[in-house]
Structure formats: structure tokens, C-alpha cells
């Protein structure tokens, strides 16, 4: 299934998610928007690591937080919670 979401991060920037998924797993995800991430290439690492992830809020948030920690990623105008919410909104 294909779905998209547009989500204004509270006190942050606009996040746009494009999601290709099965009933409960991510096949492919594209994370877009006018936020900042340091280093920029980190967003592609997150997209890759989220492949095959279960579409469950808690497990997604844990996974995103662990990728952020492992790769020393700094977001500005985006948060792990906001990114998780943006992904889950694709299911509504």
C-alpha cells in the first residue's frame, strides 16, 4: 500500500512522509520536508534502517532513537517523536 502524510512538527518544521507498506511492516519510506538534520546524509540512513520495521508507534520510536544515537544525528525542526507520528499518520 502507498500512503502519504503531511505533519507540522510542534514548534518545528513541516514533515512529509511517503510510505510504501504492507499490513504491518514498512517496505520503503521517504522522509521529506524543510527541517534540518546533521549530518544531512543521516536521513538516508534512517530511511534504510526503517525498512522492514513494524508499524507500531513504540517500536518505531525506539528504532529511530537508536539510529539517532548510533549515528550522532542532530535534528533541528524535527524530533524522533514527530517523525514517528508522521509515519503513523500514514496509516489513518
Partner 1 sequence: MKEQWRLLKTENISAAKNMAIDRAVLVANSEGNSPPTVRFFTWKPPAISIGYFQSLKEEVNLDVCKKLGVDCVRRITGGGAVFHDDELTYSIVIPEDHPQIPKNIMDSYGRICGAIIHGLDYLGIESNYKPINDIIANSKKISGNAQTRKLKTVLQHGTVLMDVDVEKMFSILKVPNEKIRDKLISDVKERVTSVKHVLGRDVSFSDAAEAMKTGFEKEFNVELVEGELSEEELKLAKNFERDFFGSKDWNHRR
The residues of the shown chain that bind partner 1, judged by CB under 8 A, are 6-8, 12-14, 16, 30-40, 43, 74, 76-77
Question: Between 41 and 70, whose beta carbon lies closer to partner 1?
Answer: 41
E strands, the chain, where? 2-8, 14-21, 26-33, 36-38, 74-76
Nearer of residues 37 and 55 to partner 1, judged by Cβ = 37
Nearer residue to partner 1 within complex by CB, 2 or 24: 2
Q: How far is the CB of 40 from partner 1 (least distance, A)?
A: 5
Residue 38 CA, chain-centre distance (Å), reads 15
Q: How far is the CB of 3 from partner 1 (least distance, A)?
A: 15
| Residue from 33, 45, 47 nearest 77 by CA | 33
- Number of Cβ within a 10 Å radius of residue 68: 19
Minimum separation from the CB atom of position 8 to partner 1 (A): 5
Residue owning grid cell 502507498:
2
Amino acid at each position: 500500500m502507498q500512503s502519504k502524510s503531511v505533519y507540522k512538527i510542534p514548534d518545528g518544521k513541516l514533515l512529509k512522509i511517503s510510505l510504501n507498506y504492507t499490513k504491518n511492516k514498512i517496505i520503503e519510506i521517504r522522509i521529506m520536508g524543510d527541517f534540518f538534520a546533521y549530518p544531512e546524509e543521516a536521513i538516508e540512513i534512517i530511511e534504510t534502517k526503517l525498512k522492514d520495521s513494524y508499524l507500531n508507534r513504540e517500536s518505531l520510536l525506539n528504532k529511530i532513537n537508536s539510529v539517532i544515537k548510533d549515528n550522532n544525528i542532530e535534528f533541528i525542526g524535527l524530533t524522533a517523536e514527530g517523525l514517528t507520528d508522521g509515519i503513523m499518520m500514514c496509516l489513518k
